[in-house]
Chains A and B, each alone.
Chain A
Amino acid sequence: MIAGTNYIGKSTRRVDGIKKVTGQAPYIAEFNPADLVHGYVINSRIAKGKITSIHREKALKVPGVREIFTHENVPLEVKIDSDYTDPLSPPGSPFRPLYDDKILYNGQPIALIVADTFETAAFAAGLVEVEYEEEDHGEVDLKKNLEQATHEDVPDPAEPRGNAEDAFEDSESKIEAEYYQPREYHNPMEPFASVASWNEEEGSFSIYDKIQGVSSSQGYIAGIFNLEKEKVRVISPFIGGAFGSGLRPQYQLFFAAMASKALKLPVKVVMTRTQMFTFGHRPACLQRVKLSADKTGKLTSIQHEAFSETSKFEKFNETIVDWSGLMYECENVKLDYQLVPLDVYTPMDMRAPGGSTGIFALECAMDELAIETGIDPLELRLINYAEKDQNENKPFSSKELKACYQRAAEKFGWQNRKPEPRSNKQGNKLVGYGMATGVWEAMQQKSSAKAILTAGGKLTVSSGTADIGTGTYTIMSQIAAEMLGISLENVEFKLGDSTLPEAPIEGGSWTASSVGSAVKLVCSKLQETIFAMAAQTNTDIFENKLIENAVFSNGEISVGNSTAIPYVEIIKAAGKKSIEVEVNSEPEDDRSNYSCYSHSCVMVEVHVDEDTGMISVPRVVNAIAGGKILNPKTAESQIIGGVAWGIGMALEEEGMMDSRNGRIMNANLAEYHVAVHADVQEIDVIFVEEQDDIVNPLGAKGLGELGIVGVASAISNALYNATGKRVRELPFTLDKVL
């Protein structure tokens, strides 16, 4: 079944590019059904206690205000925990908006004002007075509450092997260090938004929602309002960034739906930027790492423990320490992971959840061990190169990490690194080189897809997945065009609609792998259908021929040197207007015999101004082994984006809590710093060849997370090389290097 267009692997402009550069791509808050009214959420100003009264009178008298919903008048009957779960609910009891008078965290949504215009709702919100009975201000600081750490409801990390404690004691070279990462906030540029329309006659919802998987919002709303799933349609065509924040439905969805049903009007609720700091975040995490090695630099033990925050009502967990058991070859490994429940909202997955955190500590520790042993940091990693996954005792499906090390070192000029700190200067700037390894799991989920080929030659492929900026629309169109041998212009890919075949939530870097495999499969089924039809309509050519020898190219099918017959003729000859195929795709069984991971090598140059301590990152090289690269243009974007995130994580991002009232102090983009243009300079992305026939039928591993992993550690290591100062607490602000 050879196809003839060759779209897969070619740099291709985004198919939704024109929509995005002309302002025509509709994001959620831009849908305006007739008779739309606007909701504005009021949030709690205390972290713990209860609401004693909410004075609504003044606000209700403002002309244009329709209703103010609080826990006292919310029209809901079904209020048990299980009604509020979503596919990614961690163990515990999900937050239920307006459930009762209790305050669980500062910023908790406690009321919704609905008015005719956005301005009126926002104005009236300022007239609502809330009285509280405050309990102790709440525990919001991870480091001050480590004694609360628990293993309860926390998945065990990989099994220990050997005897890490004894090996550590007996080793000549050893390091022991503590690393800290503060809480970080996703802050996609598009604020969370929902537009809900309740249809009283049909007893159904039609909802536009910012979400990374429409089925998640659909199930959530169906659960809360006790409806059949089919009665809830969720649409989400364009997502203005999410980075994990849209993996679970956020509270604006509940409010829009609840108010729409109560008022029998379409309701739009959009979060303010400050409200974007009132739900999930990357948890603060304290890590302790102990490494030891023999004289040759061979690791003799790895110990890695992590303490991560969670809320008091859900046990959010992520994979932080397991990476330390599979990244390097080592016979003595001990891992531990505990959660510290605080009076905060439940943390959420955020770009490379767990991986960017755990690898930050491990790769800084490896650099410390390199200094301790006097071995070049790159050489140390090569000495301890893992040929198999010792956590699972399985071979890797593919692992071209050595090529990443080599290509990155060549491009970066690693051999020019001066090992002695403070020995490389440019004017008043100290120059440092640092490196780190990156890793991410290459996962695949079940996914469905549908393909329709019309007698007009147009192919529509659809799946209820999402495009959060990752390029889903484009790569799925490329796969379909390649499989059917038709031009990209004749392919349309549809996503973000709960009426489409179900796809997994877009996350974990598994969309290319999962939905891509479903698209490939549905197109190969379509090939079979076309072939079978051709055998009927053009018996002279296709009778007794094998589909394996058929060629699907230029919108035509041929076999051997036969005349090529256009698909449209075959469809018309069969008296049809179109042909349609739908499939469910699943990971292949053989996959479970292997460990599937993508890998990277990050090398960075940092400059530190000796007078001011200002840190800049003029150069980053990131060499990636991510399997088959479907579209180098969009793939590179994933990696440069991840690197920008890594720079922000290293130098800027920090959610600062006021422990007096349990409130975040910098809940805006002026004070919560993310990387901006001035922070990001030269980034070289290298994709090394990596053939993988096991990971999935496309051989693609997914790239959304990998780009950030290792970047902060490489910057920390370069800072040490530049200044001789080891900074173990993120972010590396100038006060920490002076």
Chain B
Amino acid sequence: MTLIALPILLPFMLIIVLVFIRSTFYAKIIGVIGSALLFLVSVYLLILVSHNEMLVLQVGGWEAPYGISLVVDYLSSLMLLAASFIVFAVSIYAYRFVKAKRGFSMFFIFFFALTMGVNGAFISGDVFNLYVWFEVMMLSSFVLITMGAKKEQLEGGIKYLTLNLIASLLFLAGLGLLYGKTGTLNMAHLAQILNNDQQSILMNTSAMLFFIAFGIKTAIFPLFFWLPASYHTANITVTSLFAGILTKVGVYTLIRFFTLFFVQNGYFWHNLLLISAGFTMVIGGMAASIQYDTRRILSYHIISQIGYMIMGLGIYTPLAIAGAIFFTIHNMVAKTNTFLIMGIIKKIKGTFYLKDLGGLFKEKPFLAILFVISAFALAGIPPLSGFFAKFILIKAGIEDKHYLIIAVAVLTSMLTLYSMIKIWNQAFLRVQPSKTKVDERVKVAVFDYLPSALLALGSLMLGILAAQFFDLTLLAAKQLLDPGIYVEAVLNTMK
């Protein structure tokens, strides 16, 4: 099963190739083709997983608890698929929207380094290896966020760097303590030890360090303040990529850790997760509704929607976890698309500020349709993907009698709808304010719409094929809630 390593190896090979490419044109071509290949690999991995339940690779042939294991289960392969879909769309988008001073290959080198880190985090079965992938991801994201070297980008970069650095240090401290207590860092081995352990209260120090570290990376309340201070400063292509992928890696690790081995003291942890989820939703939603920069509205929205994913983990039933996974993937697709559309609007109108926008519905009806699909998918209007995601989560909450968080989730939906309608009214419906100067020479090619149309199609398909997709997420959730399967798959391969 060497194939499992491909989501890491392929971006790595692309980086090596891109180092030697000077021509902007060839860099672009290699970037798009490379990410298309990556997408095909993840589709193939999902097919393999649906036949074999779980794929395991012991890197370098070292036996399971001693070497590094790469594990692909349903959750990993679904996340890989969604991430590589977004990477593919954004690589096409970058073709037209990134203005790189020193050649395009520089951008794509860090683009694929980020992809490599994200993919590595999704398939790693070892806590320290996960830390290394997080660092790969973080360092390349530092470079990408400060790419233009403008004043506000450097400033946003410093804020982004600081809090993510502290998160990494807490992560490292947590895994150090975990190793001290259990003597292993292999996730399956950890699960085996911790699930049979009576003194599980000792785990809480490590679990809390991990919770805070991933809480910062995931941008949950009250640890999210780096996100709205930095995301809107970067190039819109970079922002779209970050919005789609980065915080969701944190969600993935939270789901992985708190279903696989931090399952003791469930009452405390699930309540903590639910409380932070509730605050994350409400505060993100309210902060979004007072903003007028579209990128900032959408940045606060990322936070608000993270709350739903954490809520699914906090309710902790198969249905709720399935809902959380469904929601995460729906959100990755729809959220990236709204950012891409804001980039196109910026290209047409020259601004991100709602007060200066208007009249886009008449000028660019196709763009309006694309926006409606992803914005209303985010708000949860049937038959788009967000409706089913929220429906599953709320149904799970009612079945498990978590009425308060359900009320919060439904109210936050209203806030989301409000912000989306605000963008719709101000940017699309109303007449263009006369003081805005529109540069008539800027032409938007059909090619610019392509990635956005692709993602909008993704949102639509997730809505139309919701039943089939829900079955997949339910399989993933059932696999997660039975850590025995994971342990057996990883540790038994040494025989």
Q: Do A and B come from one complex?
A: no
A interface residues, Cβ below 8 angstroms from B: none
